[in-house]
Each structure stands twice: as structure tokens, then as C-alpha cells.
Amino acid sequence: MKFFIDTANLDDIRDLAETGLVDGVTTNPSLAAKAGIKFTDLVKEICTVVAGPVSAEVTAPDHATMMREADVLRKIADNVCIKVPLTPDGLKTCRKLADDGTLVNVTLCFSAAQAILAAKAGAAFVSPFVGRLDDIGQDGMGLIAEIVEIYSNYLDIGTEVLVASVRNPIHVVDAARIGAHVATLPPSVLRQLYNHPLTDKGLAAFTADWEKSGLKILED
């Protein structure tokens, strides 16, 4: 499974990119608004830090303006992935951009039927929002399983399932077990994946034993 970071915070992106565990970045208008800098400058900077796909979302509701915004965004860097909403105009834009060879992330997916349309439109990624479905009493991870199953029936579908609205490490593990291609994680959730109390306990014991031994790896 690939890990994308779901943030527009450059400090977090730089820090986590240095781990070698980050395959891409997703942003959205809400995240970008918190960054406090010009959006195109933000995307350009992120693209210099992360070599993988960087999703930059259009904000217009209509196809014609979406295309104009996409033309600006995809000229920023070769790894920009245009993010469009799962609406008729968004899918029309997706089809046009995909035909031009541009990566497209179709976002705000909440049903298997919508995911089928995204694949038909040539999306590189479809982003089902598991956390938001869980919030309203629906089974977010059940939707991921449905989409993965449907896509696996057709060898010509190249759309990757990008699990979004991830709230905790269990979402990540469940998505991986199902076979989702990508999870986009808030920095806090990615950092939580490191943590286990037995790891901390074991490390503390090893450190204490080493200090008592008086041994050294690096000599003074």
C-alpha cells in the first residue's frame, strides 16, 4: 500500500518525507486555506519535496472553469495530480484531462456506483471517504471492499482506490487487508503507526542493559 500525506503543512511534509515512507500528498481547499500562502506557490513547494503525485484540487463548479484552473495547476510540476469532485462536471473534466495524459484524483466518493463512474472517466485515483461515512452510521470500510472487488473484476480498470478521511491506524490496517492501493493520512495518524507500548518497553529495557554494561559502539 502507498502512503500519501493529507496536509498542506510544509513542515509536516518535509519532516515525513525524510522518513522515506511517503509516496505522495493530497491537499484540498480547506487544508490549503490553513497554509496561509498563495495556492500555486504552495503546490510548487510541495512538489519539490515529494516526488510522487501531489493532488491539487480545482475549486470551480463548472467544467469550463475547472479546465482553466487545471491548466494552471498542471503546469506547476510534472507530478501534479488534478483533483476534481465526483460531479457530472468533475467527471467530464476528469475524462478530458485523462485523455490529455494528466493524472486525476476524483474526490468525495461515497458509493460504489460513483466509483464505477470515476473509473469510466479515466481517473488515476478515486477517493472514498471512510471517516465521513462512519460519522453518519454507514460502513466506510465496507465501501472500500466493494470498490476493490468491483475494480478487480476488470483488468482494463487502472484506477487506484485511495482511502481518504482516515481517522486512525485501524482504518489503515483494514484498508491494507482489503487491498486498497493507497491511503492518504493526516500526519498525526501516520505518526501513530509507529507506536506500540511493547516497543517502548522493550527499547527502554535494552537501553538500560546497554548503559549498565559500559560497552560502546562509538569510541570517544
CATH number for the domain harbouring residue 178? 3.20.20.70
This model's pTM is above 0.85: yes
In a domain, 208, yes or no: no
In a domain, 139, yes or no: yes
In a domain, 164, yes or no: yes
In a domain, 67, yes or no: yes
What are the φ/ψ torsions at residue 187 (nearest 5 degrees)?
A: -50, -40
- Whether 34 is a known active-site residue: answer no
- pLDDT digits 0-9 by tens, 64-79: 999 999 999 999 999 9
Please state which of the ranges 27-36, 62-71, 72-81, 131-140 shows the lowest mean pLDDT: 27-36
Neighbouring C-alpha atoms within 13 Å toward the C-beta of 148: 18
CA distances from 56 to 96, 126, 147, 207 (A): 17, 14, 23, 44
Separation of alpha carbons 200 and 144, rounded Å: 33
Structural contact between residues 97 and 70, judged by C-beta atoms closer than 8 angstroms? yes
In a domain, 213, yes or no: no
Catalytic residue among 2, 34, 38, 83: 83
In a domain, 205, yes or no: no
Give residue 181's domain range.
2-195
In a domain, 133, yes or no: yes
Domain count, the chain: 1
